[in-house]
Structure 1
Amino acid sequence: MEHEIDIAPGVRLWAEERGDPDAAALLLVMGANASGLAWPDSLVDALARHHRVVRYDHRDTGRSSWSFDDEPYALTDLAADAVGVLDALGVERAHVVGMSVGGMLTQLLLLDHPDRTATATFIGTTPMSGGPTDPPFDLDPDVLAMWATMNEPRDREAELDWRVEHWRLLNGGRLPFDPGEFRRMEERIMAHAGRHDSPNAHARAGQEGFDRGAELAAVTTPALVIDSPADPLAGTASARHLASLLGNARLVTVPGLGHALPEAVVPQLAEVILGHTAPDTAGTSASA
């Protein structure tokens, strides 16, 4: 079932839910500049066998309003959007799974809306700054070089080529990369959005408000940090540091995982997420 949610004046979000509407809700929060359709359908369907799964397009992605050029905002405002999606769908409390920047937004939800989060799962997530002994995290120079061209105008085919190459770099080099798989995904996202230009507003949005890492020690919500050892942006060091900051977290490694979600990793990802959200484990305490 699809929804259009008026989240703020002039801002409408696209959302979709799958699964039993009476099952425990699970909210998927995608990363920066990425449509909710970047969550593989096979993963959504696997999770929906046990949950009422909600995924959505951030503002300035997919079928949601592209509003940044008229009304600039900070990245932290996207956390309020996630709460607004829950409110609009009548979800009081949800398991939350955040990917990349979506995981940083999930950290904000744990701090500011702990009553709305049953569990939290982090994939490819950099910890917020401000925690004890923050280590340096080096981003892959090839990815940084590609990001420098993100805002350049491209026709549809050139934009598709750019996005597929971007996913190839993010995949990390340990798991096989199928360019056709990611090209099909991006073709679907373009059709869904009705446009092919680069969704880059989040790269231009304000970055303030992510300096609250020291507060994560007080979090009691059960958290699962998935270590993506081949991740060129948020690899093992990031995962271990995030797990150490959270007050109630455990760390699980998915071998070969990078900063992309190829079909090859979906079965194991679904298994570890569902293991975390299961009623007999979601309320238990664990340590990193």
Structure 2
Amino acid sequence: MAERMIEVDGVELCTEPFGDRSDPPILLVMGTGASMLWWEEGFCRLLAGGGRYVIRYDHRDTGRSVTSEPGRPGYTGADLVGDAVGVLDAYGIPAAHVVGVSAGGAFAQLIALDHADRVLSLVLISTSRAVPGDRELPPPTDEFVRFLSSARVDWSRAASVIDYLVDYARVLAGGRRPFDESAVRDLVRRDVERAHDFAAVRNHDTLPEGEQSRESLSSIAVPTLVIHGTADPMFPFGHGEALAEAIPAAGLLALDGAGHGVDRADWETIARAVIAHTAGGEQS
């Protein structure tokens, strides 16, 4: 299927569907700083092949969606949450299974809290609690912190940006598995080349939170599956455990040796889990 431009609250977002429109819908919500390409096409097709109608989309300031001047986004984190709901509206979908990774997992939690009628179930990958809780959470790894504090990048040069993002992906991978630099470099290159202005992605780092209700995660009533790598350097595994404890009856799938994100080595495992998890809900 081809990419489709939609309008959400007066801004253009780029989306792409996979599968049969009559199948149960899954909305994929990527983390900040990343376009929909990070929900790789092969993974989307695995889900679609399992009888799901899958939609991925570019956040504002990523890919082919609306792009703001770097340093002047003019929107908030709450707007990114609203955009996800707007994607469902544009496709005429009353409610969907929502799958989020990293910050996209936090957005998914907020959608379930603030727009509960739009969510059939949740799958939360490599993420943490979107609202505070009582359990103390482990800090990022020393290697992750060192990288963020020492890495240098020239955002005006594509080659510098690509090198930086490949190095960042290597750190996020967690170090316990082989790192496929060639595949990651190809993905990063396509992401950078596809963007209207890749430097605008830095806007995600400074977004104000915006207006959101702050209900407890214990009020989330939809079936929830937490998927977390045991070698995640950004949100160590304790974040996944705490999230699964905070949401009633949530399941927890540990990915041994996996870092942060959706590694190709885990595609089949994650896809099977998502397909099984989303088998019970019908679109209302």
Deviation at 1:220, TM superposition (A): 1.1
| 8 Å contact from structure 1 (residues 130, 211) kept in 2 | no
Partner amino acid for 2:279? A
Give me the whole-angstrom Cα distance separating, in 1, the residues matched to 2:185 and 2:73: 31
Using the TM superposition, give the Cα deviation of residue 89 of structure 1 relative to its aligned residue in structure 2, in angstroms: 0.8
| Aligned position for 1:268 | 269
Change (3 A) 1:179 1:172: same
State the match for 2:159 in structure 1.
157
Query: What is the alpha-carbon distance in structure 1 between the residues aligned to residue 114 and residue 153 of structure 2?
Result: 33
- Give CA-to-partner distance per residue, 1:10-34, whole Å, 9 cap, x none: x211000010011111000000110
1:107 aligns with 2:101: no
CA positional deviation for 1:139: 1.6
- Equivalents in 2 of 1:270, 1:47: separation in Å? 6
C-alpha spacing 1:251/1:159, structure 2 compared with 1 (3 Å): same
Alpha-carbon separation, structure 2, partners of 1:150 and 1:272: 38
The answer to whether the 8 A contact 1:228-1:234 is kept is no
- SS across alignment from 2:216: helix
Aligned residues of 2:137 and 2:238 also touching (Cα < 8 A): no
Aligned to 1:54: 55
- Report the AA paired with residue 165 of structure 2: R
Question: Structure 2 length as normaliser, TM-score?
Answer: 0.91
Decide whether aligned partners of structure 1 residues 84 and 28 sit closer, same or farther in structure 2, where only a CA change above 3 A counts: same
Deviates more, 1:245-254 or 1:84-93: 245-254
* Counterpart in the other structure of 2:218: 217
Give CA deviations for 1:37-73 in whole Å, capped at 9, x if unaligned. Answer: 1112111000011111000000011111112644422
Cα RMSD after superposing both structures:
2.1
Where does the alignment leave 5 or more consecutive residues of structure 2 unmatched?
A: none
Cα pair 1:30 1:36 within 8 Å, conserved: yes
Instruction: Give the % identical residues.
Output: 34
Give me the TM-score of the superposition, normalised by structure 1: 0.90
- 1:1-288 correspondence to structure 2 within 5 Å: 1-9=2-10, 11-49=11-49, 50-67=51-68, 69-131=71-133, 133-148=134-149, 149=151, 152-197=154-199, 199-207=201-209, 212=214, 215-279=216-280, 282=281
* Letter paired with 2:14: W
1:2 Cα offset (Å):
1.8
Counterpart of 1:286?
A: none
Deviation of the 1:161 alpha carbon: 0.7
Which region of structure 1 is more displaced relative to structure 2, 198-207 or 83-92? 198-207
- Superposition deviation, residue 176 in structure 1: 1.3
Query: Is the CA contact (8 Å cut-off) linking 2:140 and 2:236 kept in structure 1?
Result: no
Residue 200 of structure 1 aligns to a residue whose secondary structure is helix
- Deviation per residue, 1:78-100 (Å, 9 max, x gap): 11000001001111111110000
Would the aligned equivalents of 1:219 and 1:248 in 2 still touch at CA under 8 Å? Answer: no
Provide Cα deviations, 1:145-178, integer angstroms capped at 9, x if missing partner: 4435577535111111101000000000112111
Q: CA deviation at 1:209?
A: 5.9
Q: Does the CA contact (< 8 Å) of 2:137 and 2:239 recur in 1?
A: no
Q: How many corresponding residue pairs?
A: 278
1:251-271 per-position Cα deviation (integer Å, ceiling 9, x unaligned): 111212111323211111111
CA distance in 1, matches of 2:32, 2:6: 19
Q: Are residues 254 and 136 of structure 1, via their aligned partners in 2, closer, same or farther at CA, if it must alter by over 3 Å?
A: closer
Letter in 2 for 1:171: A
Distance of 1:140 and 1:198 partners within structure 2: 27
Which runs of 5 or more residues in structure 1 are unaligned?
284-288
CA pair 96-154 structure 1, distance change in 2 beyond 3 A: same
